[in-house]
Amino acid sequence: MIEQFWLYFLGTGVVIRTLTPPLHFRNKTPTNFIRRKTQKEIHHFHFGLIFAIAALLLIAINGLNKPILFFGAIGLSFIADELFIVKDFSKYFTRKGLMLSILGHLIIGVIITLLLVWVY
């Protein structure tokens, strides 16, 4: 289960980092609306919160299984990708932003791995 989590988690991180630049400058998206209202460089952090909370609720109801693990890993990857960006440590499209995304993935990934080892 841990290997699958890391596959989904890091795979989502690579895909989202690849797809964010071409989708960034579209004006008629909910994300653009949130970016204008908050004055933060947010791209998918809010979707990550929704996915992660939904996964936690599903785990509480059904227990942990592969589809819920996949869903939760996607949400946590979205959060990890912009964790430090939301706190204004860097801009998203910079080298520092990429390094902070990697750091966010490592921190969250290690925490979830420890939780999975402890619980399962």
pLDDT (tens digit per residue) in 28-39: 777 777 777 777
Residue 38 lies in a domain: no
**Based on the structure, what is the number of domains in the chain?**
1
Residue 52 domain boundaries? 2-17+46-119
Structural domain includes residue 64: yes
Residue 33 maps to a domain: no
- Asked if the structure places residue 13 within a domain, the reply is yes
Instruction: Give the pTM.
Output: 0.85
Decide if 104 is inside a domain: yes
Half-sphere exposure of 13 (CA within 13 A, CB side): 25
Write the DSSP assignment of 21-74 as a string of letters: HHHTT-SSSHHHHHHHHHTS--SSHHHHHHHHHHHHHHHHHH---HHHHHHHHH
Torsion over CA of 59, 31, 94 and 91, rounded to 10 degrees?
-90
Contact 24, 43 (CB under 8 A): yes
Structure tokens at 106: 């490592």
Whether residue 88 lies inside any domain: the answer is yes
Report if residue 27 sits inside a domain: no
Instruction: Give per-residue pLDDT as tens, 76-118.
Output: 999 999 888 777 677 878 889 889 999 999 999 999 999 989 9
Q: How many CA atoms lie within 13 A of 60 on its CB side?
A: 6
Is position 8 within any domain?
A: yes
pLDDT at 11 over 90: yes
Q: If DSSP codes are grouped into helix, strand and coil, which group holds residue 1?
A: coil
